[in-house]
Amino acid sequence: MALIVQKYGGTSVGNPDRIKNVAKRVAEYRSRGDQVVVVVSAMSGVTDNLIKLAKEIMSLPSEREMDMLLATGEQQTIALTAIALHNLGVKAVSLTGAQAGIVTDGVHTKAKIHNITPKKVHELLDQGNVVIVAGFQGETREGQITTLGRGGSDLTAIALAAALKADLCQIYTDVDGVYTADPRIVPNAKKLPEISYDEMLELASLGAKVMQSRSVEFAKKFGVVFEVRSSLNENPGTIVKEETKSMEDVVVRGVALDKNQAKVTLIGVPDKPGVAAKVFKALGDATVNVDMIVQNISHGSLQTATNTPTTDISFTTDKADLLKAQKVIDGLKKELGFNDVLTDEKIGKLSIVGVGMKSHTGVAGKMFDVLAKEGVNIGMISTSEIKISVTIDLAKGEAATRAVHAAFIG
Ligand code: ASP
Ligand code: MG
């Protein structure tokens, strides 16, 4: 007898028929004698709608009240799922996050799980129930309802799987698993049978948003192996787990194109200690999310007023943050005395990710060669142990993604 945690996202429980389907799947596992804990999200659109309602009343509502409000979305789905199971003659009980023993800190709307005491869950399982737990929510030690940040039901499932020492954790969603690239861009992208936590995290941060990143970090920390798979078919999904030696045989696990970045370049910045610190501290204070940063070496040009050597600094940020970033930079102009600011919204960030890069050489050279043959100019470059990212002309982004995918993956 295995203990299985299954998480169903918003689209998987998006209407009564989908909920009945979920119940059917759960019932099947149950009939094999397995114990099943089901974590559900709010029905798709419900959380967004609740946020909209609140904002129609007040633009900056209290975060405590937002948690009170948003937690109701998941509470609807747990009850509906329990009812769907009862309808199939399966014993089932729904629990809120608090009833399931999920204790969080007090940071409303993005609380962190403090600990889980799943005594009630165990009791109900032992009495032969399927236990259905509301995702995305918990309770502080003082009994305040909290939520775990958007997409937080993933975290509930992973954390419960860890606390219950589950044999299997399945994350059901509306895609078949994790692909080597976005199939809308690369039609022959392949579903990956497995991927390491770190690769999954890199791909998520590159815009391949299959799961909430925090929950993947949590899974890595606690060694929770999980499967991402579709609730709409029976296909096996992608197993996400600790890196194994054989994973390194594959150099590039995935190719991702992020179309959502913009570039800012400061021209003629004084090349002296503390300047970059000022720029990026100010951006951070304004909560501008900075991704890539490149600083040129000074090449002899001097700032005339002060006779200091100058350099150029470029960085990328989300398109949504560009205006905010520009405002911050404009505000520094007097103090730092740079010559000009350029912005470019027509960039794409193309990345390849794979743990195999740790032990293979020539990967960057091959990628740049493919791009050169495609006539694609490289702007900025950044690398980590398992990732190479370049900025390129957005108009050539999709063709470049296909070419790089063909060269490394097929
Ligand atoms: N319902 C929440 C959201 O939409 C949590 C989740 O779906 O995981 O963000
Ligand atoms: Mg969701």
What residue type is 308 in one-letter code? Answer: T
Residue nearest atom 6 of ligand 1, based on CA coordinates: 151
Q: 330-339 long-range CB contacts below 8 Å, 24 or more apart?
A: 331/282, 332/278, 332/279, 332/282, 335/278, 336/269, 336/270, 336/275, 336/278, 336/279, 337/270, 337/303, 337/305, 337/306, 338/266, 338/267, 338/268, 338/269, 338/270, 338/310, 339/267, 339/268, 339/310
32 C-alpha to ligand 1 centroid (Å): 30
> Taking the alpha carbons of 80, 214, 394, 327 in that order, is the dihedral positive or negative?
positive
Q: Which residues' Cβ are closer than 6 Å to ligand 1? A: 10, 41-42, 47, 73, 135-136, 150-154
**What's the longest Cα–Cα distance across the chain?**
83
Ligand nearest to the CA of 67: 1
Q: Which of 262, 257, 246, 263 is nearest to 352 (CA)?
A: 257
211 C-alpha to ligand 2 centroid (Å): 9
Q: Which of 18, 14, 37 is nearest to 92 (CA)?
A: 37
Q: Which of 222, 119, 118, 120 is nearest to 160 (CA)?
A: 118
Write down all domains in the chain, each with its CATH number in brackets.
3-174 (3.40.1160.10)
Q: 124-148 burial by CB neighbour count: b if 16+ within 10 A, else e?
A: bbeeebbbbbbbbbbbbeeebbbbb
CB 320 within 8 A of CB 360: no
**Beta strands of 81-219 (E only): which ranges?**
92-95, 102-104, 113-116, 130-134, 137-139, 145-147, 168-173, 194-196
For the chain of 410 residues, list the mean pLDDT of each consecutive stretch of 10. 96 97 97 97 98 96 97 98 98 98 96 97 98 98 97 97 97 92 93 95 75 92 96 95 92 94 93 92 93 82 73 93 94 90 95 95 97 96 94 97 97
State how beta strands 35-40 and 3-8 pair.
Answer: parallel
CB 196 within 8 A of CB 242: yes
Q: Which two tokens stand for residue 142?
A: 């003082």
In the prediction, which pLDDT does 303 show? 65
**CB neighbour list of residue 136: distance below 8 Å, 6 or more residues apart:** 41, 42, 70, 71, 73, 74, 97, 147, 148, 152, 153, 155, 156
What are the backbone dihedrals phi and psi of residue 388, each rounded to the nearest 5 degrees, phi first? Answer: -125, 125
Q: What number does the ligand 1 atom closest to the CA of 48 have?
A: 4
CA dihedral 105, 107, 109, 112 (to 10 degrees): -40
Using most ligand atoms within 8 A of CB, pick from 41, 49, 137, 231 the residue to mutate for ligand 1: 41
Using most ligand atoms within 8 A of CB, pick from 69, 72, 133, 136 the residue to mutate for ligand 1: 136
Using most ligand atoms within 8 A of CB, pick from 6, 13, 47 the residue to mutate for ligand 1: 47
152 C-alpha to ligand 2 centroid (Å): 8
Residue nearest atom 5 of ligand 1, based on CA coordinates: 151
Residue nearest atom 9 of ligand 1, based on CA coordinates: 150
DSSP state of 228: E
- Residue 276 CB neighbours (<10 A): 17
Q: 61-89 burial by CB neighbour count: b if 16+ within 10 A, else e?
A: eeeeebbebbbebbbebbebbbebbeeee
Helix (DSSP H) and strand (DSSP E) numbers for the chain: 11, 21
In the prediction, which pLDDT does 304 show? 64
**CB neighbour list of residue 42: distance below 8 Å, 6 or more residues apart:** 10, 70, 73, 74, 76, 77, 136
CA distances (Å), 390 to each of 180, 193, 201, in order? Answer: 18, 27, 18
In the prediction, which pLDDT does 299 show? 66
Q: Which two tokens stand for residue 360?
A: 């293979």
- Residue 11 CB neighbours (<10 A): 18
State how beta strands 168-173 and 3-8 pair.
Answer: parallel
394 C-alpha to ligand 2 centroid (Å): 28
DSSP state of 245: G
62 C-alpha to ligand 1 centroid (Å): 19
Dist CA 78 CA 270 (whole Å): 59
CA distances (Å), 203 to each of 110, 388, 408, in order? Answer: 22, 11, 16
43 C-alpha to ligand 2 centroid (Å): 8
In the prediction, which pLDDT does 300 show? 64
151 C-alpha to ligand 2 centroid (Å): 5
Residue nearest atom 8 of ligand 1, based on CA coordinates: 151
77 C-alpha to ligand 2 centroid (Å): 12
